[in-house]
Structure 1
Amino acid sequence: MRPTVFLRAGMAGVLCAAMLTGIGQAPAQAATPLSIRGADLSTLQRAEDLGARYSNQNGTQGDAMQILKAAGMNYVRLRIWVNPASGYNNQAKVVAFARQVKAAGLKLLVDFHYSDTWADPGHQATPAAWRNDNLSQLETAVYNYTYSVCDALRAAGATADMVQVGNEINSGMLWPVGQLTGGTGGWSNLAGLLVSGYNAVKAVSASTQVMLHIANGGMDSQARWWFDEAVAYHVPFDVIGLSYYSYWSGTFSGLQTTLADLASRYGKPIVIAETAYPFTLGNADSQGNNISSSSQLTSGYPATEAGQRTNFLAVINAIKAVPNGRGLGYFYWEPTWTAVAGNGWDPTNPNSGDGWDNQALFNWSGQALSGITDFAN
């Protein structure tokens, strides 16, 4: 996910009728909570350092991570960049925050972008320090870097429970060498890089699960093609990860089809690694929001607190419906990224704003919205 550029084709959200019982009235829920009820809190550390304050639904101020945990969150996702200009989301910061995650009794997913900045289907820039490396050198760099981070987490008492080897790598990673189209790579190169990352994770902790993560979770043909190629090139993985934003990633019925197909075809558990929805079309800072117009919304889900909550719950119900219990869970993307001066999207520009403030699960005063109650599902 890269929050300030529209990367995915805009698609009209066609809601599966079985998932909607009316805005403000939650869709029917399965009785058993999912094993992964997570949130990506990658901007929270910087927000807190800059003085952000959070409170629960009753207005009682407290620690954002603890507020989310009390609501039912049990897993935290943290992205890591190689050498970001801001100094945040680097190894030292991630290890320090991971210790807090573990001290809070939560599990940890580490999301390797293998870049100095955002990596997603349209951007996979090789870190500056590796820019002139050939394939063999990049495979070594990926292994050594991944091992270094995972080993530092282990030494800090914060061993990762799960690791993503790449972020939304539909088009590959570490461009152009690991690029699937338009670069010098192709699947053979990408496979070598992914195997290096997998092997490094397992060398530190054999029990850490490795996820391969792509975007557009409602587009089954794309997902099937990608994972068919990964299997054909003998890329090992433990978990399938999909991003699903109903305004970008295909219909809810398409999501359900994709989840069922991939679970059956590859026999692997599946996680919705990213999802979110706006509670307003308003804007809290000078940075334009990614979703700012009613024409971008999913049909049946207004940009209201109730609309956000029911959209989130529809995603949860979709992962619960995966056959044979292979739907592990989900991560809400950046629920604490409220507009805080200095905590903008661009790591090279401290004056940049936040294009996600209207999709957080806390309002502009830092008070929790009703969407946090979905973590209990």
Structure 2
Amino acid sequence: MKNTLQSLRTFLSRFSMAALLAAPSSLFAAGASDYAIGADVSFLASAEERGTVFKDEGVAKPGLEILKDNGYNWIRLRLFHTPSNSERFPLPNDLEYTIELAKKAHDLGFKFLLNFHYSDTWADPSKQFLPKAWEDLTHDELVEAVFTYTRDTIVAFREAGVMPDMVQNGNEITNGMLWPHGKLPENEDNFAELVQAGINGVDAGRGNLPRPKIMVQVESSGNKAKTKRFFDALFARGVDCDVLGQSYYPWWHGSPLDLRETLNFMATEYGKEVMVVEAAYCWRPTEYTEHPGPFPETPEGQREYLETVHEILLNVPNGLGTGIFWWEPMVHIRPGSTGGIGSRGMFDDEGNALPVMDVFNKWTRGKVPQDAAEGG
């Protein structure tokens, strides 16, 4: 761990964060107004409805306003097919909830990434459950269902005035999606057909509006070889996209040097935009003690993590590192709990913004929220 941190600091010393923050936007192919400073806020409306109060410098404000005030210009919202609402852990992310949250963000000038899980619950590398409504379908019927569902969903967002600016068809699909039909590596052809059906659904639903950017997200940011195998196989089957997304949680995905190697490879190998579309780090020690991350689990360590990932993205070759999304900055610790995802949020137990919140303020100099609002 000590050697890893030393190597990281040696790398970062080439371009100090202070120098990057002071540099003109022409240093990067994507200027400040084009770089996605994003947050997945899928739980936000649910948290605020339960009475959670968020404060920035002691002033209580709606969560989205705090993000805007601190340079954020994108939101990411996940969508479940028919989410379960168990008392223990309700999942609010159905179509109606997601449209309403997208409207609130749109009114503040945020751009919007829609994340289809194609499941009734969490989809990730360890599980990609079919929606209950699709469990008895043949593969060909499933392909048609994915197309129709995606098309109709995009139409619903378009008619509500909140057409997504970017869409990802599947969440962390390194090991496939809609198992067993699209499970990898055994069903690569079926998997490609399912991804393409989702992309086709976006095209069919957008009407005369510009096509949203299409993202494909994996979670192999610390494994260049695995990343290459996935995208080589997908592209060989004719599937295309605009943005390559990665998740980066250090306790699962390795050091920042591993992340740097993988992102740089993706940009040079495929010539596409790359984003870290899920990022988060704990502000207090709570979990993953067997695989600790490379930064202290403190408020300052959390801030250093985000600064480091941001800097790595800004130095991706050819200006193709185009954004980062924090996963659930407003997720709040549950009463009586000291662990879980609440420790990865950007607020402490009293709802006060942590130091990580203002990482982007100097870099954007207030430009990003204004530019995003002007772009509608």
- TM-score normalised by structure 2 residue count: 0.86
Q: Which amino acid aligns with 1:323?
A: P
TM-superposed CA distance for 1:19, in Å, is 5.0
| Maintained 8 Å contact 2:17/2:311 | no
Q: What amino acid maps onto 1:328 in structure 2?
A: T
The AA in structure 1 aligned to 2:311 is: N
Partner of 2:270: 266
Q: Which amino acid aligns with 1:297?
A: P
Task: Tell me the matched-pair count.
Answer: 341
Q: What's the counterpart of residue 360 of structure 2?
A: 375
Deviates more, 1:202-211 or 1:47-56: 202-211
Task: Report the residue type matching 1:29 in the other structure.
Answer: L
Deviation of the 1:250 alpha carbon = 2.1
Q: Could you give the per-residue CA deviations for residues 238-285 of structure 1, whole angstroms, max 9, x where no partner exists?
A: 110000112211221121111111111111111101011111115xxx
Aligned in 2, Cα 1:353/1:132: closer, same or farther, shift over 3 Å?
farther
* 1:275–1:333 contact (8 Å) kept in structure 2: yes
RMSD (Å) for aligned C-alpha atoms:
2.2
Separation of aligned partners in 1, 2:334 and 2:159: 32
Q: Which amino acid aligns with 1:330?
A: I
Residue 139 and residue 278 in structure 1: after superposition, are their counterparts in 2 closer, same or farther (change >3 A)? same
Query: Is 1:298 aligned with 2:293?
Result: yes
> Partner letter of residue 70 of structure 1?
D
Q: Distance in 2 between matches of 1:202 and 1:303?
A: 43
Aligned partners of 1:38, 1:235: CA distance in 2, in Å? 26
Relative distance call for 1:145 and 1:231 in structure 2 (3 A) is same
Please say if 1:356 is aligned against 2:341.
yes
Structure 2: runs of 5+ lacking an equivalent: 26-31, 86-90, 364-376
Query: Which position in structure 2 is the counterpart of 1:5?
Result: none
CA deviation map 1:275-303 (0-9, x unaligned): 11111115xxxxxxxx353x53223x111
Is 2:154 the counterpart of 1:162? no
Name which of 254, 259, 282 aligns with 2:258: 254
Q: How do residues 181-200 of structure 1 correspond to structure 2 at under 5 angstroms?
A: 181=185, 186-200=187-201
Gaps of 5+ in 1: 1-10, 283-290, 342-350
| CA distance in structure 2 between the aligned counterparts of 1:177 and 1:170, rounded to whole angstroms | 14
The farther-off stretch of 236-245 and 29-38 is: 29-38
- Whether 1:119 and 2:110 are equivalent positions in the alignment is no
Cα 1:366–1:317 shift into 2, 3 Å: same
Query: Could you say if the C-alpha distance between residues 305 and 139 of structure 1 is closer, same or farther in structure 2, counting changes exceeding 3 Å?
Result: same
Task: Determine the C-alpha separation between the residues in 1 that align with 2:138 and 2:68.
Answer: 44
CA contact (8 A) 1:13 1:250 kept: no
Higher helix share: 2
Match of 2:20 among 9, 26, 29: 29
Q: Name whichever of 37-46 and 353-362 sits farther off.
A: 353-362
TM-score, normalised via structure 1 length = 0.86
Judged with a 3 Å threshold, the aligned counterparts in structure 2 of structure 1 residues 131 and 111 are, in CA distance, closer, same or farther, namely: same
Find the counterpart in structure 1 of residue 52 from structure 2: 52
Identity, % of aligned pairs?
35
Tell me how far 1:375 sits from its aligned partner.
Answer: 3.2
- State yes or no: 1:335 paired with 2:329: yes
Report 1 or 2 for greater relative contact order, CA contacts < 8 Å, sequence distance ≥ 6.
Answer: 1
